[in-house]
Structure 1
Amino acid sequence: ITLLHLVVDGYPSLNEVEYRVQLEIAIEQKRALLIEDEHELIGALVFRSHPCWIDFLGIHPQYRNSQLTQLFLNAMKETYCPNQEIWISTFRKYDPADTGYREEFIKLGFMERECSIEFDYPTQHFVLPVNDKKKVRNKYE
């Protein structure tokens, strides 16, 4: 919950009681990944695997520009959601509450999709496509 309070700017309509219940369920169902630095939680990811959807992604502000998000995505792609698109929702374009989440997801390869309303807040879905094997070009092409 300490991490939640540090990243709540990414979830403007987050209900702490509901979050705690959902987190406990996700941990029990092995749908939560956590990263600790010594004794402090610095990253948390809660997801569903069919379809592959990130329900919560929180990175401690001091580690936000590190590679923790990529580390979580790699784990999802390799272990929990192989050969699946990964979906997440975040702020809509020009939302003044966005502190850089959209930009980070785009840099990680996510592509914009439809707009939505979630928890009475305007959001936009993003998808990280399945990485196709790069076509090896024939030297005569």
Structure 2
Amino acid sequence: MRIEVGTEQDVDSWMNLVEKVKNAFPGLETEEALKEHRNTVLDFISKDSAICAKEQEEIVGVLLFSKENNVLCFLAVDPEHRRKYIAEKMVSYMLTKMNPQSDISVTTYREGVPEGIAARAFYKRIGFSEGKLTEEFGSPVQEFVLKRQSLSLEN
């Protein structure tokens, strides 16, 4: 398995994975929403802000991030490939592309929402802390923040 920046040639395989996990994400319920997400993926690819995990040529993990806003925007791993530390490897790779002095934020479902249990546990395990409550795509979510200033103090 390898982690690399996504390219336009990856978009079909990328969207096959998104199709498998779409029910776990608010805002991907319709064909129109999936088409919009495909365009979003292509936009992130054009900014070198799309990371994928590949096994042979199959995409088994995807991550979108914003360097400008220090946000992890989208993270998914194929259900058949979970528990292989793919998400951790993609987040680690993303961190090398971001400003090391900037905190990183991500949003996921609020506590008590079944679809968010695994994501919340994952983000906490890799060092994110719970932040403010907000809403995205009409769903109540919670921000998680990875504090980075303390990491830059290591010499």
Match of 2:108?
A: 90
User: 2:69 is aligned with what amino acid?
Assistant: P
Whichever of the two has the greater Rg, that structure is 1
Structure 1 residue 133: Cα displacement: 3.7
Listed as ranges, the matches of 1:55-134 within 5 Å are: 55-130=73-148, 131-133=151-153
Q: Secondary structure at the match of 2:101?
A: coil
Distance 1:9 1:81, change over 3 A: farther
Residue in structure 1 matched with residue 7 of structure 2 by the alignment:
none
Cα RMSD, aligned residues only:
1.7
Q: Which runs of 5+ in 1 are unaligned?
A: 136-141
Q: 1:41 aligns with which of 45, 59, 65?
A: 59
| Aligned partner (choices 31, 41, 53) of residue 49 of structure 2 | 31
User: Which residue in the other structure is 1:7 paired with?
Assistant: 21
- Is the alpha carbon distance of 1:99 and 1:27 closer, same or farther for their aligned partners in structure 2, counting shifts above 3 Å? same
Say if 1:46 and 1:55, in contact at 8 Å, map to a contact too: yes
Percent identity for Structure 1 against Structure 2: 24
Higher helix share: 2
DSSP 3-state at the match of 2:38: helix
Structure 1 residues 83 and 76: CA distance shift in structure 2, 3 A:
farther
Consecutive aligned runs of 4 or more in structure 1 exceeding 4 Å deviation: none
User: Partner letter of residue 48 of structure 1?
Assistant: S
1:41 alignment partner, SS class: strand
Aligned residues: 135
Give the alignment's TM-score, normalised by structure 1: 0.86
